[in-house]
Structure 1
Amino acid sequence: MAGRALSFAALIPLVLGFSDTQPFVTWSSHRSNILDLLPSKLATSAHSVSLLNSILDHDDICDYDAVVLVEQPGLHASDLRTLDPSSNLAKLLESAPSSRQFPYVRYEAAEPFTNIAESLSRRCGSQLLSLTPGGSGPAMESGSKHVVCMKMQHLKGVASNRKAAMADHESRLSNDLDAIATLFPKYLVIFTGSPSHLSTRQAPSEFDSPPPSFLGPTFAGNSTVLQEGGILKRYQILTPGLITTLLIVLFVIVPVIMLGISALASIQLPLSSEVPKGFDAQEKKVQ
């Protein structure tokens, strides 16, 4: 029992290591030394700020016609895995000459994306635009460099709602990226999640509560095993929540049940073997 408890304690940090992580996906329309220099697999000590800085601090970052920073609060690794491999975003990522996909990047507090985008625009002499995917915003001008900052709506809710909302988000984001690609042939995109800080007093947005049409039958495609070419195809099937549940059942609930059965057996055993009072073995032998 003590051994199992120690094993469970040793595995807790492994599970909790996923709790403060976020997906980080980046790609470019042309072969990029910036992205190609990134490792295909991050070290456990790597965090979101260092990864972002390694991209934006590179000397070649100002060579792009457009740098697009996309942030979505509440985005999880499993949300990107549910996207159909035939979706526009998945196809765009698959066909990109250079890309990197990191499903679990440890989050570290940093400046807001708007501040990061503003700093980059000053450094590169680019125009700064802040857009909401699918919404109206300032017009982009071809022929001049841009830094585009996109803040997507908060993603929350149960799995079925999140999958529907994510499909809607992907469609809106893809349309805007297509428009950017038309105006700026050479561009780089960074798409990442961020922790949820939505106040309970805030009214839910249309993204938080998808229309009824999105809550019907599940979308085509397998959300558990992602086909070749899908976004974040190396994602683990076991999510952090499922891993946590399995570990709790295996190392907490099962041992408690076994301990209860063992305790009951130890109580009943002495009762069955106890000698009745007044019993004299010698007298019984004489009779």
Structure 2
Amino acid sequence: MQELSGRIAVITGAASGIGLAMAWRFARAGMKVVAADVDAAALATACAALAAAGHEAIAVRTDVANAAEVDALADRAYAAFGAVHLLCNNAGVVPSGRYRPVWEYPLEDWRWSLDVNLFGVIHGLRSFIPRMLEGGAPGHVITTASVAGLISGSGSAVYSATKHAAVRVTEALYASLRERGAPIGVSLLCPGLVNTRIYESERNRPDRLRPAAGPATESEELQAVAASLYAGAMSPEEVADIACQAVLDDRLYVLTTGSFDDAIRDRMEAILARRNPEFATLLALSKRDVGSREAGR
């Protein structure tokens, strides 16, 4: 999709973080924005700011874990603008206590993460792709995954598992669209560390999926390290710029940093060599990511 001006973008998770930055980036490129988020108040504030800046944007409160609500989002977008050219499946959550062993995560963490991070993507594809194909116009789909979906190890096991699944679903989308010659491009956005509120996701967890023991907490030491890392991380606006260029370039794999390349390579080489891997910790990789950015400033 080479022309963005006048086209229609639907963005989930658009009330904050990468989603909000993408809403502004694509609006500045001349697109009309359908912004969706589970946080209705923050979403309304975001759309009001876009409108005040002269951009055309509508807010549709949407829980991407609910297929019917994503269908309703599609209905609203098509009713308002008659078409959708860019779908950004961006909404995501991270359960608290991400440095626990995999067996200690409660089932509620698994269900919540899978509902949003994986089924949110699936629901978006099922609700929008048939209509985009029927429309016949050039289009594009962005899945916001993570470098956590390309590497492995003990850290953030639930979040990472859902992102590995989102990677596979998006690769299947890319292959399926190419096999039928559809004019719809696909980008798999895999950011490294980004300064967003995703690690405050508990604010949006449904009551029915709250563990009986309450949310887990990290040690004070880990909390301090995480706060320091995020202060030096890439901004959502930088990620949105990269995502926009990926659409114009029709690029599938979109990584925002090279700091995780060795970990990606080591995992792949271990698979091909049939040898046991030695995974670096997610915390160490994140420190390397921020350190490389600071060295380049």
TM-score by length of 2: 0.27
Which structure carries more helix by proportion? 2
The structure with more radius of gyration: 1
Q: Structure with the greater relative contact order (CA < 8 A, sep ≥ 6): 1 or 2? A: 1
TM-score by length of 1: 0.27
